[in-house]
């Protein structure tokens, strides 16, 4: 229970800083249901929802380790795009954790780099693309993130890219915590699939 208490404390700290439950879930790589349980368990009690906590700090602390993961993700992306006879003009990195992976994948594939910042529930705004990088407007793009817990972030990005006349052809992540093989019609591939059974 010590680990659960530490995670609950982190969740409460984020809540006090003004993050929404969805933002806390993204930050902690947990489902929104688990975050709700962590924030209210003192009141409601009961068993936690089934979830898997994903931590990849051992990779993230060194650029070369991120590079190894990005190389494997690039290989998976090439395999999937070849299989489906598709190509991409650019690589979208989802802020924050998808950005270093996407930067290295875009270099490996020789594609433009696009940075996507998901919308913030607390401000009621959609996502945004950084103007310091390439735009997805009218392009076929690959999207990269670290963990898919619900798929909501990538689904929002798909919608935001479509609004600009672009198309996401493939989503590639380090870890897929769902049973899904596609999100909003976009194929989803992962280095690792982790889920409770």
Asked if residue 65 is part of any domain, the answer here is yes
Average pLDDT over residues 188-195: 92
* pLDDT exceeds 50 at position 46: yes
**Which pLDDT band, with edges at 50, 70 and 90, does 42 fall under?**
low
Instruction: Specify the pLDDT at position 45.
Output: 60
- CA distance linking residue 78 with residue 126, whole number of Å: 30
pLDDT at 1 over 70: no
Percent of the chain having pLDDT more than 90?
65
**Whether residues 69 and 165 fall in one domain:** yes
Q: Do residues 30 and 105 both lie within one domain?
A: no
Q: Give a yes or no: residue 127 inside a domain.
A: yes
Instruction: Tell whether 15 and 79 lie within a shared domain.
Output: no
Say yes or no: 105 and 183 in one domain: yes
List CB contacts of 185: < 8 A, sequence separation 6 or more: none
Q: Is the pLDDT of residue 196 over 90?
A: no
- 144 lies in the same domain as 67: yes
Together in a domain, 69 and 109: yes
Q: Are residues 30 and 121 in the same domain?
A: no
Opening angle at CA 128, ends 25 and 148, nearest 5: 30
Confirm whether 118 is domain-assigned.
yes
Q: Both 64 and 27 in a single domain? A: no
> Is pLDDT above 90 for 33?
no
Task: Answer whether residue 52 is part of any domain.
Answer: no
pTM tops 0.85? no
For residue 77, being part of any structural domain is answered with: yes
Q: In this structure, are 81 and 127 located in the same domain?
A: yes
Residue 50 lies in a domain: no
Distance CA 72, CA 160 (A): 27
Same domain, 23 and 69: no
- Please check whether residue 98 is in contact with residue 144, taking contact to mean a CB–CB distance below 8 angstroms: yes
**Greater pLDDT, 129 or 23:** 129
Range of weakest confidence among 59-73, 109-123, 133-147, 182-196: 109-123
Q: What is the CATH number of the domain that holds 101?
A: 3.40.50.2020
Q: Residues 95, 183: one domain?
A: yes
Torsion of CA 107, 111, 141, 190, to 10 degrees: -30
Per the structure, the complete domain to which residue 17 belongs is given by: 2-44
Angle at 135 between CA 90 and CA 84, to 5 degrees: 30
Residue 34 lies inside a defined structural domain of this protein: yes
Model pLDDT for residues 82-132, shown as the tens digit of each residue: 999 999 999 999 999 999 999 999 999 999 999 999 987 545 568 999 999
Query: Does 162 lie in the same domain as 76?
Result: yes
17 domain-assigned:
yes
Counted domains in the chain? 2
């Amino acid at each position: 229970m010590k680990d659960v208490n530490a995670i609950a404390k982190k969740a409460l700290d984020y809540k006090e800083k003004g993050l929404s439950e969805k933002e806390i879930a993204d930050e902690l790589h947990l489902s929104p249901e688990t975050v709700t349980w962590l924030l209210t368990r003192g009141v409601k009690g009961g068993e936690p929802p089934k979830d898997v906590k994903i931590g990849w700090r051992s990779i993230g602390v060194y650029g070369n380790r991120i590079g190894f993961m990005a190389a494997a993700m690039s290989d998976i992306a090439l395999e999937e795009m070849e299989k489906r006879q598709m190509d991409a003009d650019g690589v979208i990195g989802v802020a924050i954790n998808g950005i270093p992976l996407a930067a290295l994948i875009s270099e490996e594939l020789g594609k433009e780099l696009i940075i996507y910042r998901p919308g913030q529930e607390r401000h009621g705004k959609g996502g945004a693309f950084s103007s310091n990088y390439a735009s997805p407007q009218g392009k076929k793009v690959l999207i990269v993130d670290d963990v898919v817990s619900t798929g909501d972030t990538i689904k929002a990005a798909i919608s935001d890219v479509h609004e600009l006349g672009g198309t996401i052809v493939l989503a590639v992540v380090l870890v897929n915590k769902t049973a899904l093989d596609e999100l909003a019609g976009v194929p989803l591939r992962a280095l690792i699939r982790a889920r409770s059974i």
